[in-house]
Amino acid sequence: MTRLDFINIASQKLKLIRIESGYTQDKMAEILGISKKTLVQIEKGRSSLSWSGAISLCTIFRNSEVLEMTFGGDTQDVILSLAFTGYESNKKTLGGKVWWVNIKLTDEFRIQQNIISEHYRILDSQERRICSSFDYEYIKKRLQEISENCGV
């Protein structure tokens, strides 16, 4: 997935998110900081959100079932993986029981791939996300570095 893919998908889901949230076009435009005319153009597929607009939509409506089903879980992980080559964190996860498939397992870590967005992440044995990226080579390299630093 690229930033452009992300923007296009978020733009296509804008109307569904608005309806799911029970907002009028006027209110949704106000929330997103865009004009109603722009919102209507996006909803009709004649225009699209900007990168910052797509981020705003996904951040403000992060609890949206539409977004969760579209991106395979937490959109913030996708956004940060697109914004940075390798996003580092120490966030506790649910272990990837729904949207994730295990790619590589070690005693202390595992690489998972999201089945929808296709980005990768490394989890430790406590289900904490160490890093995430769309670049599998980067993830493999980070796993090796982390494993060496932990003596695994």
SS3 5: helix
Same domain, residue pair 51 and 106: no
Domain boundary among 71, 98, 116: 71
The fraction of the chain above a pLDDT of 90, given in percent, is: 69
Domain around 45: 3-71
Number of domains in the chain: 2
Confidence (pLDDT) at 96: 74
* Antiparallel, parallel or unpaired: β 100-105 and 87-92: unpaired
Question: Is the pLDDT at 152 greater than 60, yes or no?
Answer: no
Confidence (pLDDT) at 151: 62
CA distances in angstroms from 44 to 16, 50, 70, listed in the order given: 12, 16, 19
Confidence (pLDDT) at 49: 97
pLDDT digits (tens, 9 = 90+) for 47-93: 999 999 999 999 999 999 999 999 988 898 889 889 987 777 777 77
Confidence (pLDDT) at 95: 74
